[in-house]
Structure 1
Amino acid sequence: MPSTARFVLDPAFAVGDVDPRLFGSFVEHLGRCVYTGLYEPGHPAADAEGLRTDVLELVRELGVTAIRYPGGNFVSGYDWEDGVGPKESRPRRLDPAWRSTETNQFGLSEFMDFVRKVEGTEPMLAVNLGTRGVKEALELLEYANHPGGTDRSDQRVAHGDKEPYGVRLWCLGNEMDGPWQIGHKDADEYGKLAAATAWAMRLVDPDVQLVACGSSAQFMPTFGAWESTVLEHTYDLVDFVSMHAYYEEKDGDRDSFLASAVDTESFIENVIATCDHVGARLKSKKRIDISFDEWNVWYSSRPETERRNWQEAPRLLEDVYSVTDAVVFGSLLIALLRHADRVRVACLAQLVNVIAPIMTEPGGPAWRQTTFFPFAQASQYGRGRVLQVHVDSPTYETAKFGEVPLLQATAVADEETGAVTVFAVNRSRTDALPLEVSLRGLEGLTRVAEHSVLTDADPDARNTLDEPERVTPTAAEGTSLDGGVLRATLPALSWNMIRLS
C-alpha cells in the first residue's frame, strides 16, 4: 500500500474538451428558490424588476454557465401561459408537486431577464410532458423563439419582449420514470411522446438541442431498460439523455458518503454503455451525450421543517452544508470533469436556498455555503482540456463501495495559456495525504501559482446567517514544482485546487 498518492499528467493523453455548460445550475419553483431567493420585490437590494442584486452578484461569482427552468417536478403540472403577460392578471395556482401555492409573479419573461443579467450563461427550458404534450410544447417554443408575426410570438412582443429568446437547450419533461411524477409514464409511453414532441419541435426550430429523460437514479428498478426503450424511440431525434443523482450521509456511515463519486462514475459509465449499445443496435453513427441536469448533496431523508399546506414559498429543502458535504460535492464535480467527453451539460440543483450554494434571508443578506467554493473554482479554472488521471493511491474500506482510493483527482489544461489546474479531494478523515504528480510534455510549467484548500478542524463546520464566513478557502503551504514533479500535501478531509503556470 503506497503512503503517497501519485499520478502522471501528459497532454498526449486527454479525456476531452470541457463543454462550458458543464457548470450549469437549476432554478425550480420550489420552496424559496425563486421567491425571497433570486426574486424579492421590496428587498433593499432589489432592482426595478424585483431581482435581488446581491444574489445576482453571487451567481456571477459562482460562474454558472447554463440555468435549467422551471423544473424539476414542478414542470409536470405547470401551464407556462400562467407565468407570462401582465402580473396583475396572472392566476394563483395550486402546485401539487410541492404542495405549495404558486403566485406566478415570476415566469418566463422574469427568468429570461434574470439570465441576461447574470451574463455568460444560457437558458435551458423544460416542457411539460406530464399533464400536457406536443401542442403545448410547440406553443411555448413559438413564444420563446419565433421572431414574430404569429399568435404566440406576437404575444411575447406584446408582453414587452420584442426580440426572441433564442433558447437552444430544451428538456423533454422531467423524471418521467418516477412514480412520484405528475403524469408518470412507462418507458414505451414516454418514449413515443418524447419522440413526437422532439420531431415537431425540430420542424419549428431545427437548431434546438433536446434532452430525453433518463432514469431518475441508478437505483431505480427500471434503470437501464428505461434508457434503452426511450432511446429506441428517440435516438435520431435527441442530443442528450438526462441523469440525476443526489447523495447524503446515512446511518452515520461517513466513509461511504465520502466515496459517493464512485457511484457517480459508475452511473455515468453505465448510461454511456447503454446509449452506445442502442446506437450500435440501430446501426447509427450518431453519438448521444449526457445532460447530468440534477446533481448535488441532498439530505432528502431528513424531516422537513415546514409542513406542505399550500403556503407560498415555504422553507423547503434548505440544507446547510458542512465542510464534509463540500468535500463530497467537490468529488462529484471531479467525477463530471473526468467524463467531460460525454457529459456535455450538467446542472447543480439548485441555485438559491433549496439545496443550494447560495442562501438568503427574506429582507436580509445573502451568503455563500461551503459548496459554493469548489463550484466557483472549478467553473473559473476548469475550462479547457481534461487530462487523463489514473491514481496510485492509499485506499480505505467502505461498507457501501468496498475499497476506495483516498485520492479523487482530475486535471484541466488551458491550451491558450498553457496553465494546468489540478482538482483533488483527500477522503481521509484523519490523515494528510502526500501527493506527487509527474508532468510529461508539460515543460512550460515552471511554478505553482496557487494551492487553495477548503478544510477545517471541525468537519461539520458550516456557514450560516450568524457566521456567513465561518468556512472559506485558504492558501496551502509547502507546495512545490521542481524537476517536472509537483509535490503537495492534501490536508485530511479537504478539497484542493492547485494551479500550475
Structure 2
Amino acid sequence: MLKPLLLAALLATPALAETPTVPVIRVHDEKRADVSPLLFGQFLEIASWGERGPEAYADPETGELPAAVVEKLRELHAPLIRFPFGSDSRFLDWTDRVAMPGRPAPVSLERGEGGLTNRFTYDHFLRLCEELDAEPLLVVKSWDAVFEGGDAVAADAQQAANLVAYTNAEVDAALPPAQLALAALRAANGRIQPYGVKKWQVGNELFFGLNDRGDRDFYWTADPEEELEALADAIVTRYTAVADAMLAVDPTLQLVAEGEWRSERGRELILGDPRMKERFAYVTNHAYGPWKTNRLRRGGELINASTLDEQTLTAFGAFYPRGLDAEGRSRGLDDWAIEAAEAHGYRAVATEWNWNGWGDFDLTHPTVAAHARALGTAGYLNGMLRQAEHVAFATQSMMLAESWNIGGVQGDPAEPGSVFLGPSGAATALYAELHGPELREVTLEGMPEPLRVDLTRAGGVIGPQIPVVDATATAGPGVVYVHAVQRRFDAELAVEIRVAGLDPGLVAAVAVHSLVREADHERPFASTVRRSVEVDAAGREAIAVTLPAASVSVVEIRHGG
C-alpha cells in the first residue's frame, strides 16, 4: 500500500500541479510606486576632448541643427534634456555660449589646450527643448569654488547666478544692474519672456577633485575626527555659496547636488549637513560600464576579449553597465545613492549613465557586440524602474554624437540625413515611448536555466549566472506594459503573460514591440532595429507571446478595464 499512497500524495502536491510548462511572466495588480516620466531623459553634451555633439551638427552661420537631426532626436521621446557639459564645466565660461551684439562667436579653451566653437548656444538649446517638448536641465561650474576656496567661491557663484539671470529673470526684475543687463541680452537675442529653467546641477563629478589633489585619503581618513569634520564643513560652505547665489536670483530652482564623494563618511558629513538639505532637492549618481575591455580571464586564465563567442558577447553586454543584484536582476542606481537619498530626504537621480565600453570585444562579431549594448541598457532601465519610489529622473549620456558610440543619435555631420538611433538610444527611446505611470510587481516562473558565463574582469566576476529574462511592468489607464530583456543569442523564447485582476474578456489588443539585431547591417551601431508584432489574445487569461532572440521587448496590453 505504501507505493500507491506515495504516488497519490505526489500527484496531489499543489507545487507540482502548478509548475508551468511554459515560462510565465506574472504581473501583479498592486501598485508598487509611481513612475516618473523623467526617467528617460537625455544628456546633450558638448565634450571638448573628442565629442562635440550638437556643436558638430550646428550650422556654422545660424547655429541651428539640421531638420533631419531634430526629427531623429524627437524619436528618443526625451522628457528631460541636460546641457551642455559634464567635466568640462571647470574650464568654460558660459558667456562664450550666448550671442552678444558685435561679438563673433568666441572659441573657448578646450581643457586649457585648444579651441571649442560655440555655434550651438544656450538659446538654441532651450528652443530645441521647447520644440521637443522636453524640460531642460542646466549644469553650472563649482569646481574651483569647492577645491580652491577664496576668490574662486565668489567667481563660480557669480557665474552660476548670472546664467540663472540670463535664462530666468524678467527684463524688469529687481536685480543688480549687471544681472538685469543679462535679461536684456536674452531679450535682444529674441527671447523677451524668461525660459523658466527649474532644474540645475551644481558642479559635475566633484569627487574627482579629491583624486586630482593627491590627498584623497587625507580627506576622508583625517585624524582626529575634528579635522575630517572641518574639511567637510569647508566643502559644504563653499558649495552652498554657489547655490545661494543662484537661489537669490530665482528661489524656485530645483538644485541637484553631487552625491558620490567616494566615501561613506564623506557622504554622511556632506549630504547630512542641514545647509545642503535646505538648498538641494536631488543627489546624483553617475553610472557607466564596462569601460575599456581588452583582456578578460576565464577559469583564471587570461584571454583576449576578441575571442568571445556570440552568446558570451550577448551575456557580457547584458551584464553591464551595473551588473546584477543578489536576486540576479539588473541593477539601476548604486545602492549608496538610494540609501543616502532616503536617509537625508533627497530624491536620487542619475544625470549621467550609459552602457559605455570599448575594446577588442567589438572586433570579431561587431553587430552582436553593438546590439548587446541595447540589452544592457534596457537592463539598467529595468533596474531604475524597480527603484521608482526613490528615483526622480535620469539623463542618458549622450544624446547626439559624431564619433562616440554611446550616442543616442549617431552619424556623420556631413550627412545629417543619415543619422540613426544607436543601440543604447534605441532602448531608452522604446521605454520612453511605451511605459505607464505606475510600477507593478513582477514574478518570473519556469524560466530556462540561467546562462553561465565564466569570466572575470579586473577581479570582478561577470555573472557567473545571468538569468535569461529580466522583466518589469508598468501600467496606466487601459494599458499594461511588460518590459522584458531576453538574453539568449540564438533562440527565441515563448512565454505566457498573466496579469492579475485583468478580465480576459476585456483584453482589446496586444502588441510586442522588440529591438532585434539586423545581422548583416553594414554599420554595426545601426544594427539594432525595431519590430512590432500584433498578438491575438482576445478572451485569454494567459497571453502567449514570443520574445525574439537577444532582444529588448515591450509587450503592450490594451484593455477595457
TM-score category of the 2 structures, normalised to the smaller one: 0.7 to 0.9
Q: Between Structure 1 and Structure 2, which shows a larger proportion of helix residues?
A: 2
On the 8 A contact 2:90/2:142 being kept in 1, the answer is: yes
Equivalent in the alignment of 1:413: 475
Other-structure match for 1:289: 347
| Structure 1 match to 2:440 | 387
CA distance in 1, matches of 2:34, 2:272: 28
In structure 2, what is the equivalent of residue 428 of structure 1?
A: 488
Question: Structure 1 residues 60, 497: closer, same or farther in 2, change over 3 A?
Answer: same
Cα 1:53–1:100, aligned 2, differ >3 Å: closer, same or farther? farther
Match status 1:9 vs 2:27: yes
Could you tell me which residue of structure 2 aligns to residue 145 of structure 1?
A: 168
Q: Report the equivalent of 1:35.
A: 55
- Which gives a bigger RCO, structure 1 or 2 (Cα 8 Å, sep 6+)? 1
In structure 2, the residue matched to 1:21 is: 38
Q: Which residue is equivalent to 2:151?
A: none
Is contact 2:439-2:475 (8 Å) kept?
Answer: yes
How do residues 240-251 of structure 1 correspond to structure 2 at under 5 angstroms? 240-248=282-290, 250=293, 251=296
TM-aligned CA distance change 1:401 to 1:215, over 3 Å: farther
Q: Deviations over 1:396-449 (max 9, x none)?
A: 33442443322111111122xx11111100122343333233211122751443
1:500 paired to 2:561: no
Q: Which residue of 2 aligns with 1:85?
A: 99
**Cα-to-partner distance string for 1:176-207 (whole Å, 9 max, x where unaligned):** 00249989996825433332323343333222
Letter in 2 for 1:213: E
Question: d(CA) in 1 for partners of 2:427 and 2:246?
Answer: 37
Q: Within 2, Cα distance between the matches of 1:67 and 1:90?
A: 24
Q: Which aligned pairs between 1:112-123 and structure 2 lie closer than 5 A?
A: 112-118=126-132, 120-123=133-136
| 1:45-56 matched pairs, under 5 angstroms | 49-56=63-70
Letter of the 1:111 partner, please give it. F
- 1: CA distance between counterparts of 2:24 and 2:336? 27
Q: Which amino acid aligns with 1:140?
A: L
Aligned to 2:259: 214
1:207 and 1:142 map into 2 onto residues whose CA distance is: 13
- Verify the 8 A CA contact 2:355 2:424 in the aligned structure 1: no
Tell me what 1:404 maps to. 466
Per-residue CA deviations over 1:319-350 (Å, capped at 9, x if unaligned) read 99722111212222222222222211110100
Equivalent residue number for residue 420 of structure 2: 367
Q: Which residue number in structure 1 is paired with residue 503 of structure 2?
A: 443
For residue 10 of structure 1, give the secondary structure of its aligned residue in structure 2: strand
Greater shift in the superposed pair: 195-204 or 14-23: 195-204
Computing the radius of gyration from Cα coordinates, the structure with the larger value is: 2
Residues 7, 25 of structure 1: alpha-carbon distance in 2 compared, 3 angstrom cutoff:
same
Q: Which residue of 1 aligns with 2:138?
A: 125
- The total of aligned residue pairs comes to 458
Amino acid at match of 2:250: D
- Conservation of the 8 A alpha-carbon contact between 2:59 and 2:119: no
Q: Spell out, residue by residue over 1:362-381, the C-alpha distance to the aligned partner (whole angstroms, 9 max, x if none).
A: 33132222334322221111
Aligned to 1:307: none
Moved more, 166-175 or 240-249: 240-249
Residues 89-135 of structure 1: CA distance to partner in whole angstroms, max 9, x if unpaired? Answer: 333222118x65212222212221222222x1011000101235222
State how far apart, in whole Å, the 2-side matches of 1:140 and 1:32 are. 22
Q: Is the 8 A contact 2:41 2:78 kept in 1?
A: yes
Secondary structure of 1:437's aligned partner = strand
Cα 1:302/1:162, change in 2 over 3 Å: farther
Matches for 1:194-233 after TM superposition, within 5 Å: 194-215=239-260, 222-233=262-273
Structure-2 residue corresponding to 1:454: 515
Aligned CA RMSD, in angstroms, stands at: 3.2
372 and 275 in structure 1: CA distance in 2 versus 1, 3 angstrom threshold: closer
Cα distance per residue 1:273-307 (max 9 Å; x no partner): 22323x3xxxxxxx31111111111125689xxxx
TM-score (normalizing by structure 2): 0.74
Given the superposition, is the C-alpha separation of residues 498 and 197 from structure 1 closer, same or farther in structure 2, using an over 3 Å criterion? same
Cα displacement (A) at 1:351: 0.8
CA distance in 2, matches of 1:223, 1:383: 36
**1:451 Cα offset (Å):** 0.9
| Distance in structure 2 (CA, Å) of the matches to 1:423 and 1:348 | 18
Distance 1:300 1:193 in 2: 37
Preserved contact between residue 19 and residue 345 of structure 1 (Cα < 8 Å): yes
How many angstroms apart in 1 are the aligned matches of 2:530 and 2:408?
Answer: 15
Aligned to 2:279: 237
Match among 154, 169, 172 for residue 199 of structure 2: 169
Per the TM alignment, residue 242 of structure 1 is displaced from its structure 2 partner at its CA by 0.6
Relative distance call for 1:23 and 1:183 in structure 2 (3 A) is farther
Contact 1:130 1:182 in 2 (8 A): no
The Cα of 1:41 is off from its aligned counterpart by 3.7
Whether 2:173 is the aligned partner of 1:154: answer no
- Structure 1, unpaired ranges of 5+: 43-47, 217-221, 280-286, 304-318
Contact 1:241–1:288 under 8 Å retained in 2: yes
Query: 2 CA distance for matches of 1:192 and 1:301?
Result: 42
What amino acid maps onto 2:208 in structure 1? G
Measure, in 2, the Cα distance between the counterparts of 1:181 and 1:159. 41
Check whether the contact 2:426–2:528 (CA below 8 A) recurs between aligned residues: no
1:67 corresponds to 2:125? no
Q: Secondary structure at the match of 2:378?
A: helix
Name the residue aligned to 1:45: none
Q: Would you say the 8 A contact 2:427–2:552 is kept in 1?
A: yes
The 8 Å contact of residues 371 and 527 in structure 2, kept in 1 or not, is answered as: no
Using the TM superposition, name which of 382-391 and 235-244 deviates more. 382-391
Could you tell me which amino acid in structure 2 is paired with residue 488 of structure 1?
Answer: V
SS of the residue corresponding to residue 154 of structure 1 reads helix
Counterpart of 1:474, as a letter, is R
Between 261-270 and 103-112, the greater mean CA deviation after superposition: 261-270
Match of 1:332 among 380, 386, 400: 380
Contact preservation (8 Å) 2:91, 2:109: no
Identical aligned residues as a percent? 23
Q: CA deviation at 1:482?
A: 5.2
> SS state of the match for residue 54, structure 2?
coil
Separation of aligned partners in 2, 1:141 and 1:85: 16
Distance 1:266 1:471 in 2: 22
1:495 CA drift (Å): 0.9
- 1:188-228 deviation per Cα after TM superposition (whole angstroms, max 9, x unaligned): 25433332323343333222111101228xxxxx2544432
8 Å CA contact 1:409–1:422 kept in 2: the answer is yes
1:308 is aligned to: none
Which secondary structure does the structure 1 equivalent of 2:239 belong to? Answer: helix
Cα distance in 1, alignment partners of residues 525 and 286 from structure 2: 29
Superposition pairs of residues 265-280 of structure 1, within 5 angstroms: 265=331, 267-277=333-343, 279=344
Q: Deviations over 1:161-188 (max 9, x none)?
A: 2111100000011000024998999682
Match of 1:26, as an amino acid?
Answer: F
In 1, Cα distance between equivalents of 2:263 and 2:324: 18
Letter in 2 for 1:154: A
Gaps of 5+ in 2: 1-18, 145-154, 173-179, 220-230, 297-304, 306-311, 362-366, 454-460
Instruction: Provide the rounded CA distance (Å) in 2 between the counterparts of 1:276 and 1:443.
Output: 38
Task: Give 3-state SS (helix, strand or coil) of 1:298's partner.
Answer: strand
Letter in 2 for 1:362: P
